[in-house]
């Protein structure tokens, strides 16, 4: 048995926030002192480091659970399934629903329960629950679904990552320019190994994945292996909630804060090792990888992680075109970056990146906790 992705969907908000929009801001440091550089210079340096040119913010009347439901509907249609056949709905997020112009998080009821309601699912055996695991949450949802399948406790799951980070950021903090909103979803199912049976050869209509292949069960599609790690003794507060950097702000209100340099150094050291552990467990050669879908956190950091990963195999330079990216246009939407990016590639939205049935890909992410994970998957 293997866990196979039947279909994907995503929701990308229409509201575009460009870097130019930040050039009128005043920025302060963690000591609540105004940064003397002109905002245009701060934004220019930010763009050079992160690669982000613009990001998307959700409309005022849309919450994380709304975006999650829209992405879920797209994934259900792509997979061609009846939502009443879902055994689980797993929604990864960090802040629940945060109403526009508010900093209060609302996770009661769970976002997954709201998604189930929005989908109109009556089946009481369809269990919705939320997953808090930082940015790697959606990938961890895949791993949890795979575990439930292997335990015989479920056969089909909906895994979603949704977040409205634009509503928990401090506009006086330079790091606020990194974050964005969005949602991505996937339908996963337990299937028999092999390409020769109907269940094991599902390719959704319009998926953008081409090719037909036959062979032994060991060559069939699905999750081949995964790795998850957590580091907390010194690292737990690298990403945390803290007061605004603006001196006259209300000290009772907390915003998302990040120790950028420490996150960068941690990710560069630990993520390549987890990726290698995942590949080793999957018994897949590094040369067999066709694409790596990495959390869109920071372009410079992601490029450095991939290079360090290949160097673990004594390969100095990664293959060209190995790493699709959408961070330049969409920013960092936390749990939504990987499923959104994967959906875009599957649907042909990034024409320079294509997938073929039988390709081996790697999902990987790092985030608050500090948690990180990786999943090796064959299409």
* End residue of a domain, out of 179, 201, 223: 201
Contact 182, 332 (CB under 8 A): no
Domain total of the chain: 2
Q: Tell me the mean pLDDT per 10 residues along the chain, length 379.
A: 96 96 92 89 93 96 97 98 98 94 87 98 98 97 97 96 96 95 98 54 48 49 96 95 93 91 96 97 95 96 97 95 96 98 96 95 96 97
Whether 171 and 286 share a structural domain: no
* End residue of a domain, out of 152, 172, 201: 201
* End residue of a domain, out of 201, 236, 262: 201
Whether 147 and 277 share a structural domain: no
Whether 308 and 186 share a structural domain: no
Where residue 82 sits, what CATH number does that domain have?
Answer: 3.40.47.10
Whether 245 and 106 share a structural domain: no
Owning domain of residue 130 = 2-201
Per-residue model confidence (pLDDT) at position 192: 85
Per-residue model confidence (pLDDT) at position 207: 56
Distance from the Cα of residue 287 to its chain's centroid: 24
The encoded tokens of residue 371 equal: 């948690």
Entry pTM:
0.92
Whether 128 and 109 share a structural domain: yes
Whether 37 and 175 share a structural domain: yes
Whether 113 and 168 share a structural domain: yes
Whether 150 and 130 share a structural domain: yes
Whether 253 and 336 share a structural domain: yes
Whether 110 and 256 share a structural domain: no
Per-residue model confidence (pLDDT) at position 213: 36
Per-residue model confidence (pLDDT) at position 229: 97
Whether 178 and 123 share a structural domain: yes
Whether 162 and 279 share a structural domain: no
**Residue 132, Cβ density class (10 Å: 0-12 exposed, 13-18 middle, ≥19 buried):** middle
């Amino acid at each position: 048995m293997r866990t196979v992705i039947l279909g994907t969907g995503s929701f990308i908000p229409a509201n575009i926030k460009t870097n130019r929009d930040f050039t009128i801001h005043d920025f302060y440091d963690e000591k609540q002192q105004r940064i003397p550089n002109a905002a245009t210079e701060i934004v220019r340096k930010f763009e050079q480091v992160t690669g982000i040119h613009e990001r998307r913010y959700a409309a005022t009347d849309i919450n994380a659970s709304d975006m999650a439901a829209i992405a879920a509907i797209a994934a259900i249609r792509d997979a061609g399934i009846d939502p009443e056949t879902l055994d689980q709905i797993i929604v990864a997020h960090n802040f629940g629903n945060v109403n526009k112009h508010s900093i209060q998080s609302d996770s009661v009821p769970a976002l997954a329960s709201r998604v189930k309601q929005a989908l109109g699912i009556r089946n009481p055996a369809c269990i919705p629950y939320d997953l808090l695991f930082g940015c790697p949450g959606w990938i961890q949802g895949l791993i949890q679904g795979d575990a439930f399948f292997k335990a015989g406790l479920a056969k089909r799951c909906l895994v979603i990552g949704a977040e409205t980070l634009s509503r928990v950021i401090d506009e006086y903090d330079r790091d606020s320019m990194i974050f964005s909103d969005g949602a991505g979803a996937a339908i996963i199912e337990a299937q028999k190994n092999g390409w020769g049976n109907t269940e094991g050869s599902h390719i959704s209509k319009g998926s953008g994945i081409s090719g037909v292949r036959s062979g032994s069960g060991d060559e069939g599609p699905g999750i081949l292996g995964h790795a998850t790690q957590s580091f907390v003794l010194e690292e737990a507060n690298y990403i945390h909630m803290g007061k605004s950097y603006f001196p006259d702000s209300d000290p009772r209100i907390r915003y998302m804060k990040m120790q950028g340099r420490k996150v960068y150094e941690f990710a560069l050291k630990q993520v390549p090792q987890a990726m290698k552990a995942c590949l080793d467990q999957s018994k897949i050669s590094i040369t067999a990888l066709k694409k790596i879908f990495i959390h869109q956190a920071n372009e410079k950091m992601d490029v450095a992680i991939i290079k360090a990963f290949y160097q673990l195999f004594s390969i100095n330079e990664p293959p060209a075109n190995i790493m699709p990216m959408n961070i330049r246009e969409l920013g960092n939407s936390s749990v939504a970056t990987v499923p959104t990016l994967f959906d875009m590639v599957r649907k042909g939205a990034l024409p320079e990146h294509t997938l073929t049935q039988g390709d081996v890909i790697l999902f990987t992410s790092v985030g608050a906790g500090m948690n990180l994970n990786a999943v090796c998957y064959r299409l």
